Amino acid sequence: MHQLFVQRLTLTDFRNYARLRLDVGAGAVVLTGANGAGKTNLLEAVSFLAPGRGLRGAKLFQVGRQGQTGAWGVNAVLSGPDGLTEIGTGLTAAAPERRAVQINGYPAKGGAAIARQIGVVWLTPAMDRLFLDGPASRRKFLDRLVTAFDADQAGRIAAYDHAHRQRSRLLREEASDAAWFAALEDTMARHGVALAAARADLVARLSRALAASAGPFPAASLKLVGAVDSWLAEMPAVDAEDKVRASLWDERRGILGAGAGPHRSDLGVAMIATGHPSHGQPAALCSTGEQKALLISIVLAHARLQREKRGAAPVLLLDEIAAHLDAGRRAALFAELRALGAQAWMTGTDSGLFEDVGESAQFFNVDQGAVTVSKMRQ
């Protein structure tokens, strides 16, 4: 197995950073400092090395430094199995509606291009409510995992969402162009079934990996819930596509409950811990601590799968990960990260929480746009 890690991170007018260059190694990167100092901003910058709008899901024009033009840039040098790769991304004043991406100095198009270079997965405090929020949050979480595992998922999602938005606009406008509707619904059927199949493949792999894992973090039972997911489990993909087309046509005719698609699917999660009172219980009914442990368990299982497929673990962004874990689980998490060979960027206000992170860890103090090397508190 090889390592894939960010070797150098350079920011320009990003959040509270006017200019920053940060050189790091392959081990854990621990960022400590006061609340509001800019620790999560650094994780967000790394998250833009994945398709989408980063770990905050912010609108692109909001990411630039306050008082500036709105343009911003993130540049990273990656060290991986194939040597060094440079990725640059950001927003320019000339094209403020879409972030540009360059790989080794050449323009790259589409989320799949950047996803093929590096897998990035994150856990943030906002995700602590993942099992309590609506299905949309769980779909986004799952699709991030799928995209990190299968870069082509980014293109499937983009194509499906574009067609879905256009069709929704036509419905609102009560348009009567049957050919246009049919073309959009065909696109939704083809790409929708493909992205649902990619979800199902990863969920099956994750379920096997979770069942085989042992340690302080509970396993999870995962299940996709939705009409398209049921059809894919029962019939070939081409037949499932026909079912989607028929359902979308029924929706246009006003049939209640029609309009099936992967945008209506959900990820069901239950806790698996034999002998424990919460065994078999839906994640939404588990305690806050159990939900956090389930999330960590899923992300670690995904990282192991990605290491097996890509030959290198993904970069993990773990915001305030240590604050709500007891000492035993913190030590177990750090041991798992070392075993994975994953570069994990972690934040916290107290460096003492990271005393078991390992000798290769790098500690930095973050203070209002300035990042300095620090030592762990003894």
Chain segment 266-279, per-residue pLDDT in tens = 999 999 877 777 78
Burial of 165 (0-12, 13-18, 19+ CB in 10 A): exposed
Residues of the chain with pLDDT under 50: 376-378
The secondary structure of residue 175, as a DSSP letter, is -
> CA 318 from chain center: how many Å?
11
pLDDT of residue 358: 84
pLDDT of residue 335: 92
Q: Tell me if 58 sits within 8 A of 75, measured CB to CB.
A: no
In sequence order, the 6+-apart residues with CB closer than 8 A to the CB of 254 are none
What domains does the chain contain, in order, with CATH numbers?
A: 1-119+314-378 (3.40.50.300), 129-309 (1.20.1050.90)
pLDDT of residue 324: 81
pLDDT of residue 375: 63
Give the Å distances, CA to CA, from 201 to 150, 185, 205.
Answer: 10, 24, 6
Burial call 72-104: b when 16+ CB within 10 Å, e when fewer: bbbbbebbbeeeebbbbbbbeeeeeeebebbbe
Name the 3-class secondary structure at 158: helix
pLDDT of residue 378: 39
Residue 58 CB coordination number (10 Å): 12
Chain segment 103-125, per-residue pLDDT in tens = 999 999 888 899 999 999 999 99
